[in-house]
Amino acid sequence: AGDAADPSGRTVLDRFAEAVAESRDDLTALDQLVGDGDFGDNLLGGVRRAQALDGAASGGMGALARAFLDDVGGTSGPLFGLLFQQLGAVSWPEEGVPDARSAAEAAEAGLAAVRRVGGAEVGDSTLVDALAPAARALGDAARDGADAPFSAAAEAAARGAAGTADLTPRRGRASYVGERAVGVPDPGALGVALLFLVLARVYEP
C-alpha cells in the first residue's frame, strides 16, 4: 500500500525525515550565510530523535514535539517544538486525512505560541513568515471546503519562505547580519515550508 492508503503519523515522520535529510546541506548553507550554520543539523537531529521515539501517535507530531522541546538546541529547537506540540493537539486519525479545520486551528495555535515566545512578527524574516500564511491558507481552504487544504497551506508556506529573501531580518542571529541578509531566504521558514509540503504529499497525493 502506498502512503495514500496508510497516512499514519509514522508515514509523516519518515517522509519528513527524508525531506529534511535531502535539504540539510542547503539549510546549513543558508544558515551559514545569515546565522551560525547549525540549522540543518538542528532540524535533522530533531527529526531523527523523533523517529527513534514511538512516532505513530498524534500524526507524528507528539514525537516531534518531545524531541524538539527536550533535545534540540538553537533558537529553532524550542520554536519548532512548540509548533509540533500544538499540531499534535489535533485528533489525528490512525488512517485517513485529518480534519482541515482542526488542523488550521492547531496551526494558528502553533503560530501564536511561536510568536509569544520568539516575539517575531510577519515580515521579520523568520519561520513566522512561512507559518502565518500556511495557517491562514489552511483555515481559508477549510472554510471554503477546498479539495486540497494541505496543498494550499504548503503553497502559501513555500511562497512565504521564498519571500523572506526580500526582507531584512529583525529577529534571531540573522538580525545581526541585517541588510546583508537580503537576497537570502530564511532557513527556518524553509523548514516550515518543508513540513507543510510533506503533509500535503502524504494526505493529498
Q: Report if residue 42 touches ligand ADP, rule: CB under 6 A.
A: yes
Minimum CB distance to ligand ADP, residue 199 (Å): 19
Query: What is the nearest approach in angstroms of Mg ion to the Cβ of residue 191?
Result: 11
Assess 172 for contact with ligand ADP (CB under 6 A). yes
- Is 39 a binding residue for Mg ion by CB under 5 A? The answer is yes
HEC string for the chain: CCCCCCCCHHHHHHHHHHHHHHHHHHHHHHHHHHCCCCHHHHHHHHHHHHHHCCCCHHHHHHHHHHHHHHHCCCCHHHHHHHHHHHHCCCCCCCCCCCCHHHHHHHHHHHHHHHHHHHCCCCCCCCCHHHHHHHHHHHHHHHHHCCCCHHHHHHHHHHHHHHHHHHCCCCCCCHHHHHHHHCCCCCHHHHHHHHHHHHHHHHHCC
> Which residue among 47, 114, 154, 184 contacts ligand ADP (CB under 6 A)?
114
- In the list ligand ADP, Mg ion, none, the entry touching 155 (Cβ below 5 to 8 angstroms by class) is none
| Residue nearer to ligand ADP on the CB measure, 8 or 126 | 126
Q: Could you list the residues that contact ligand ADP (CB under 6 A)?
A: 31, 35-36, 38-39, 42, 74-76, 79, 114, 118-120, 126-128, 171-173, 186-189
Binding footprint of Mg ion on the chain (CB under 5 A): 31, 35-36, 38-39, 74
